[in-house]
Structure 1
Amino acid sequence: MKSCLRLLLLSLALLAAGCHRDLDPVAFHADGRPPHLSDWHVVEVRGGKLVLNQGVVPYDLNTPLFTDYAHKLRTVWMPKGVSAKYDPTDTFDFPVGTIISKTFYYPRSGTGKFSDVARTYDSSHDFAGEGLDLANVHLIETRILVHRESGWAAIPYVWKDDQSDAELARTGAVIPLTLVADNADREDFNYVVPDESQCSSCHAQDWVTRKIHPIGPKARHLNRDYHYATGEENQLAHLMKAGYLAGAPEPGQAPRNANWMDEQASLDARARAYLDINCGHCHNPKGAANTTGLTLDVSVPEDRHLGVCKPPVAAGRGTGDHLFDIVPGLPEDSILPYRMDSADPGVMMPELGRSTVHREGVALIKAWIAAQSGGCVAIH
């Protein structure tokens, strides 16, 4: 039995080594903007697959940010001998040298047209090991967040049509695509790759210092299981084991946001998690929307700070002539879902990061507001 186990472990080690044998080591660029994604050697195309380099750890969020129905592969890499410091509420304190990547892609639609992409939540055919199977997915962009001595830098790359590599896109890009639903319904839209300044505006969680930080790597977003090459494991525990995280408690003692699609969770938990990741990075006391008086991260109580019976401050025509951000029991009278349900640049929220309406997300927030009791009194 022991000899069989040793043989199995050796086979797995050889398989893992085979995945990385033709990849140069991950390259930390202390300055500048490398012209190709492959210059970082974090994720690269090999043999019809997008593979992760040695030491590159994938992760996912309990509830992800919506980006035009795109699927996302997130990774983190750190130099040897350093680790991130755990924080129960804020983004982990990542050391200089950390490289975070996020690759945006779509499952192929099956129509045979390159610009047709599937509008689906099914990711069962996306992966090849911990990487992506290019026979089944269409790569769009990869964003790099790198922690340098001067702070974090956001660098966008757009994938070439032949899917061989991604090229630097400092000024962003507009990519015409068509979402194809399971019932063959089609929706044309322009996928917008943000430029560097737009990346920075979303990632500047403190609008006073304007310093940018990662948004997703917080305990409440990462406290979930992930299917690694070695098997299913809690992400916080896995990062601790890999030496990438220090000071984290047992997963059961760490905060955890709900999965917005998990109908076993409460409606309130799902809605608050959705608003937290999609809106909370701007709508918080230090964020870009701090002057609005509307706080949408998960920590705020359900009162006027969350928008309940709160008049808008400077929404302009974004109010839709509604009087309050949230009117308990009346989603059609509330500004919040009105702005979420628009793709008009002068109305929509969030202002960046999408060109389409997240129908299921809007339905969730409307159901959450409809379930609230009470009412608002207009003051004239």
Structure 2
Amino acid sequence: MKNNNQISRKLIYSIWSLVLLIGLVGCDSYKKDVHLFPAEEVPENLSAWNLLRLEKGVLFPAERALPYDLNTGLFTDYAHKFRTVWLPKGAFVTYGEEQFNYPVGTILSKTFYYPQESSGVVRRTDDFSADYVEGRFGQALDLNRVRLVETRLLIRRQENWQALPYVWNKEQTEATLEIAGDVKNFQLVGLNGQQENLSYVVPDANQCAGCHAEKFTDKAISPLGPKARHLNKDYPYGSGVENQLLFWQKAGYLRGLPDLKSLPRNANIYDATVSLEDRARAYLDINCGHCHNPTGPADTSGLMLHYGEIDWRKLGLCKPPIAAGTGSGGHLFAIVPGEPENSILNFRVESTAPGAMMPELGRSMVHTEGVELLKQWVSSLPGSCT
């Protein structure tokens, strides 16, 4: 009897030891850091980077991959976006008002997705409140409530940035590298029940570079969103709500941060407490400014829509187009004060016709809220072009 008890105790001890070992191995796997692949050896599967983790229907970032958001983001056919930044251990970002200096090895991720009904249809909405796991808002996406489409990576290499588009499979279990891009077809359902067909275009690597090349002369790509004016806002971290720039500094990710009160801050276009002009300029900055700036691909147009431009003529007020054509819609000036219906800027933002719509890439639908914002802004401008 005594021997049997000893054997039982040993057996139980062995089983518990095995369970503990498995648990420890699982914990080590969970805590394993991001795998930074060299430029010539990028993996086919997103999971190989270990940047975003899937577990029990939840998508969440690696331990040192910080989620972040922008005051106003680029419109992409109503897609929602989950962004993260990761730095190698000991590395840090150096502050710059117009452009941060990101260290070699930085990985920026942006996951595009849509809110999803239990029936499987995807919703057109600007409401993010139901996207995340309860109690983990801003930290972990609930895959029972969202439909993942793609995850784009920007990796800082020694000489330049590398853009990699990964497309999620139907099962929502893996994303695969698609250098040539892809097309996903959806039916978007609005709050009023109205349905719209959407052909969502995943850009190829060259198109990624086309938008991210703010300095058109050297074609070098750079991050567009994670800049001071876009990041200067609060975010709901697991430890509590805090200004993103201060949080990056506290986490050791950012150095050289000036006093917060002195930093630029783009408006949230949905914040009615902010002036109409600030909201309209913020919208133009993030959606158009990466091309329409003094060194961008649209520099020859003379139309400057980037943050900080103060010359109203360059902003388009009573400015005739450099080249006429279908892009002008038969109108004479970029902006006619008080007359959005006669302004080229409004015409191009409202159009979906190739050769006329702006931005040229990243959308196939009309952004109703953005169009209305720009209409109100142009309508509010005094003066005339006669």
Under a length normalisation based on structure 1, what TM-score does the superposition of the two structures give?
0.92
State the partner residue of 2:104. Answer: 96
State the partner residue of 1:109. Answer: 117
Q: Which SS does the other structure have where 1:367 is aligned?
A: helix
The alpha-carbon deviation at position 44 of structure 1 amounts to 2.1
State the partner residue of 1:54. Answer: 63
Q: Which SS does the other structure have where 2:196 is aligned?
A: strand
Task: For 2:176, give the aligned amino acid.
Answer: E
Equivalent in 304, 307, 327 of residue 318 of structure 1: 327
Q: Which SS does the other structure have where 1:369 is aligned?
A: helix
Distance across 1 between alignment mates of 2:353 and 2:37: 38
State the partner residue of 1:31. Answer: 39
Query: Percent of aligned pairs with the same residue?
Result: 52
Q: Residues 222-269 of structure 1, C-alpha deviation per residue, up to 9 Å, x if partnerless?
A: 000000111100000000011111111232221111101100000000
The answer to whether residue 155 in structure 2 is matched with residue 146 in structure 1 is yes
Task: For 1:177, give the aligned amino acid.
Answer: F
Q: Which SS does the other structure have where 1:156 is aligned?
A: strand
Kept in 2, the 8 Å contact 1:19–1:51? The answer is no
Distance across 2 between alignment mates of 1:367 and 1:271: 9
Kept in 2, the 8 Å contact 1:99–1:145? The answer is yes
Q: Residues 340-366 of structure 1, C-alpha deviation per residue, up to 9 Å, x if partnerless?
A: 101112210000000100010000001
The answer to whether residue 276 in structure 2 is matched with residue 264 in structure 1 is no
Q: Which SS does the other structure have where 1:232 is aligned?
A: strand
Distance across 1 between alignment mates of 2:126 and 2:194: 15
Q: How does 1:245-256 map to 2 (within 5 A)?
A: 245-256=254-265
State the partner residue of 1:359. Answer: 368
Q: Which SS does the other structure have where 2:30 is aligned?
A: coil
Distance across 1 between alignment mates of 2:218 and 2:324: 24
The alpha-carbon deviation at position 69 of structure 1 amounts to 0.4
Distance across 1 between alignment mates of 2:28 and 2:182: 31
Distance across 2 between alignment mates of 1:296 and 1:214: 18
Q: Residues 182-218 of structure 1, C-alpha deviation per residue, up to 9 Å, x if partnerless?
A: 1110000100000000000000010011100000111
State the partner residue of 2:6. Answer: none
Task: For 1:288, give the aligned amino acid.
Answer: P
**Which has the higher mean CA deviation after the structures are superposed, 124-133 or 267-276?**
124-133
Equivalent in 41, 46, 49 of residue 40 of structure 1: 49
The answer to whether residue 337 in structure 2 is matched with residue 332 in structure 1 is no
Task: For 1:172, give the aligned amino acid.
Answer: G
Equivalent in 281, 292, 299 of residue 283 of structure 1: 292
Distance across 2 between alignment mates of 1:231 and 1:366: 38
Task: For 2:39, give the aligned amino acid.
Answer: D
Under a length normalisation based on structure 2, what TM-score does the superposition of the two structures give?
0.90
Q: Which SS does the other structure have where 2:99 is aligned?
A: coil
State the partner residue of 2:127. Answer: 122
- Show structure 2 runs of 5+ residues with no match: 1-25
Task: For 1:347, give the aligned amino acid.
Answer: A
Task: For 2:163, give the aligned amino acid.
Answer: A
The alpha-carbon deviation at position 109 of structure 1 amounts to 3.3
Q: Identify if the C-alpha distance between structure 1 residues 216 and 20 changes in structure 2 by more than 3 Å, giving closer, same or farther.
A: farther
State the partner residue of 1:298. Answer: 307
The answer to whether residue 166 in structure 2 is matched with residue 157 in structure 1 is yes
Distance across 1 between alignment mates of 2:99 and 2:141: 27
Q: Which SS does the other structure have where 2:241 is aligned?
A: strand
State the partner residue of 1:8. Answer: none
Distance across 2 between alignment mates of 1:145 and 1:280: 20
Q: Give RMSD over aligned pairs.
A: 1.5
The alpha-carbon deviation at position 20 of structure 1 amounts to 8.0
The alpha-carbon deviation at position 29 of structure 1 amounts to 1.4
Kept in 1, the 8 Å contact 2:39–2:162? The answer is no
User: Where in structure 1 do 4 or more consecutive aligned residues deviate above 3 Å?
Assistant: 18-21
**Which has the higher mean CA deviation after the structures are superposed, 24-33 or 176-185?**
24-33
Distance across 2 between alignment mates of 1:19 and 1:180: 41
Q: Identify if the C-alpha distance between structure 1 residues 236 and 322 changes in structure 2 by more than 3 Å, giving closer, same or farther.
A: same
Q: Identify if the C-alpha distance between structure 1 residues 269 and 62 changes in structure 2 by more than 3 Å, giving closer, same or farther.
A: same
Give the paired residue count: 357
Distance across 2 between alignment mates of 1:194 and 1:175: 11
State the partner residue of 1:15. Answer: none
Equivalent in 220, 232, 246 of residue 237 of structure 1: 246
